Structure 1
Amino acid sequence: MLIPGTHYRLAFTQSVLALLQVINAPTHYRLDYPDLSLILALVRGGSLARASALLKVDVSTVFRAVRRLEAALGQQLFEKSGAGYLPTTLAQTLAEQAERAEQALEAARIGAEQGGEVISGTVRLTCTDSVLQSLLLPALARFMPSYPALTIELCTSNDFANLSRRDADIALRLTRTPPEHLVGRRLADISYRVCASAAYVQSVDSHDLAALTWIAPDDFLPDHPTVAWRRQQLPGVTPSYRCNSMLSVTELVRAGLGVAALPDFLIGDGLQPLTEPLHGYDTALWLLTRPDCRALRSVVTLFDELGLALKLP
């Protein structure tokens, strides 16, 4: 039987040994679990007051503990500034290792409670804000409660650079031709229609598209299918509103400020199509990852769950 608290030290042993390799202190001080908890709390909190709240001790205790630890290591961990306590490179490295060990502890606890193997770890996921709002969040709400030890880091962007730079593990992208160096699944075909709010339609002649007030993506999305369609079909139209995301375009249309070509999954309550799908300007929703990520169980699990949850009719 484990003595209470012993499981914490066992779980942290490998992380602590790894951390000691980055420390070049003349005293050869050996970090322990309370030290790591202190560093992590101060990095997360950014101030003595918030760190003391996380640790459930008073501010003076945190202050003295940091001073003692820096003296023992012979290195500065934090720089005091007007913005609070800023971690040095060493403190940031220690905090990252401590956080991973903390996640491993949580996974072990859940596994012990559930009596089985637990999917754990951090998966970095990137998508556009429109896909996040309309498709991803409802999907995550359905299956993520089954994976309490799995952590997801979300980043909204419009390009594939996140995966190429290894800033992300999984990407949800609207594209006809995903990069060849990525692997994945085509989840659904996506078409676009010109849409407007009911209130706007009542105030204009919606049959003359060129005479309407247009809302469109800005130069941040120069190759967007809706931009290509408008330039081809309505070359004389200059949009009155430009936005750097399709979600913003949709909200302006919903507010009754004009019309825009929107993807199927963003056409919801309060919006009505004015045209049939824009033929030849459709795209697809792709679920993508890097080949090397297929060896990571956390990534594979999330990838498979998203593949099932995001299958569109």
Structure 2
Amino acid sequence: MFNAATHYQIDYADLSLVLALVRGGTLARAAALLRVDVSTVFRAVRRLEAALGQTLFEKSRAGYLPTSLASNLAQQAERAEQALEAARIGVEQGGEVISGTVRLTCTDSVLQGLLLPALAQFMPAYPALTLELSTSNDFANLSRRDADIALRLTTAPPEHLVGRCLGAVAYQVCASADYARLHPDHEWADLAWIAPDDFLPDHPTVAWRREYLPGVRLRYRCNSMQSVAELVRAGLGVAALPDFLVGNGVQPLGPALAGHDTALWLLTRPDCRALRSVVTLFDELGRHVRWLRS
């Protein structure tokens, strides 16, 4: 229980009030979340601020903006909310429940091609586990402690992280069925090429293209491999894609690009191995993403 400098004892109703106004941003939306009227929320906030002797919200044209104190209380409220939900589920299921929030980062292509199908397999079994997802192409998230787990395509994961290799990933030149049918005998260099832009200068497909098609003109440049795949699927040209994005309207035009494969790594920080929620998600991803590639 939070003990303010004024010795006022914050209770769960106070935390729920602050959380509702932080989430809603206005008195009307907070009232709807709490299922009370607007005047009740207004009076309750004024009473709480008076009891604490501190301002919780600044009124602006955009609504009610939380102060740092309100933001901190809202975070505590979310944890309390999760704990109550975990307790409720534990009573219903008659056993121990995995709960908490785990932050996971991956690229958008791994998210669409591998992670979402895996989550659909096991996340329903963990109703009290909250997953925060972010897409990024680097390891900075884990290094800055912005994330707990990462799924990364690499041949050399950072030494300060721990994890396991889930399997090799190969790349193939691909096109949509319609595009392949319209260009059956064309040389690869004469096709409309779609590729990552300078945001991914060291991508394996970029290295392959520089080696084997150094003079090819790029018709489309994208800042993510998922966008490259979507343009291919739309029939706009060809691209070298990871094998887990092949299918659903995208077909290979040839064998895998020899010498330019990579690997999918499941990584975490050493300190996260003490967190049961992180370990549980890590192990489930290891089983189900591996299963997808088996």
What secondary structure sits across from 1:240 in the alignment? strand
Alpha-carbon RMSD across the aligned residues, in angstroms, is 1.1
Q: 1:1-313 alignment to 2 at 5 Å?
A: 16=1, 19-20=2-3, 23-25=4-6, 28-311=7-290, 312-313=293-294
Q: Kindly indicate whether the alpha-carbon contact (under 8 Å) linking 1:206 and 1:212 is maintained by their aligned counterparts in 2.
A: no
> Mean Cα displacement is larger for which, 224-233 or 269-278?
269-278
Counterpart code for 2:146: D
- Matched residues in 2 for 1:162 and 1:238: separation? 34
Q: Kindly indicate whether the alpha-carbon contact (under 8 Å) linking 1:213 and 1:240 is maintained by their aligned counterparts in 2.
A: yes
Number of residue pairs matched by the alignment = 292
Cα offset, 1:203, TM superposition: 2.5
Output one character per residue of 1:74-113: Cα deviation in whole Å (capped at 9) or x when no partner.
Answer: 1110011111111000000011011111111111111122
TM-score by length of 1: 0.91
Unaligned runs of 5+ in 2: none
What secondary structure sits across from 2:271 in the alignment? helix
Aligned-pair identity (%): 78
What secondary structure sits across from 2:218 in the alignment? coil
Cα offset, 1:143, TM superposition: 0.6
Unaligned runs of 5+ in 1: 1-15
**CA 1:206/1:152 → structure 2, altered by over 3 Å: closer, same or farther?**
farther
- Matched residues in 1 for 2:69 and 2:152: separation? 36
Counterpart code for 2:12: Y
> Mean Cα displacement is larger for which, 28-37 or 150-159?
28-37
Cα offset, 1:286, TM superposition: 0.6
Counterpart code for 1:260: A
Cα offset, 1:206, TM superposition: 4.6
Cα offset, 1:220, TM superposition: 0.9
Output one character per residue of 1:282-302: Cα deviation in whole Å (capped at 9) or x when no partner.
Answer: 001110000111110000000
Q: Kindly indicate whether the alpha-carbon contact (under 8 Å) linking 1:185 and 1:287 is maintained by their aligned counterparts in 2.
A: yes
Cα offset, 1:240, TM superposition: 1.2
Counterpart code for 1:272: Q
Output one character per residue of 1:203-258: Cα deviation in whole Å (capped at 9) or x when no partner.
Answer: 22554111111100111111100001001111101311111111100010111111
- Matched residues in 2 for 1:115 and 1:40: separation? 29
- Matched residues in 1 for 2:185 and 2:93: separation? 58
TM-score by length of 2: 0.97
> Mean Cα displacement is larger for which, 262-271 or 163-172?
262-271
- Matched residues in 2 for 1:59 and 1:238: separation? 61
- Matched residues in 2 for 1:220 and 1:123: separation? 27
Q: Kindly indicate whether the alpha-carbon contact (under 8 Å) linking 1:107 and 1:118 is maintained by their aligned counterparts in 2.
A: yes
- Matched residues in 1 for 2:37 and 2:83: separation? 28
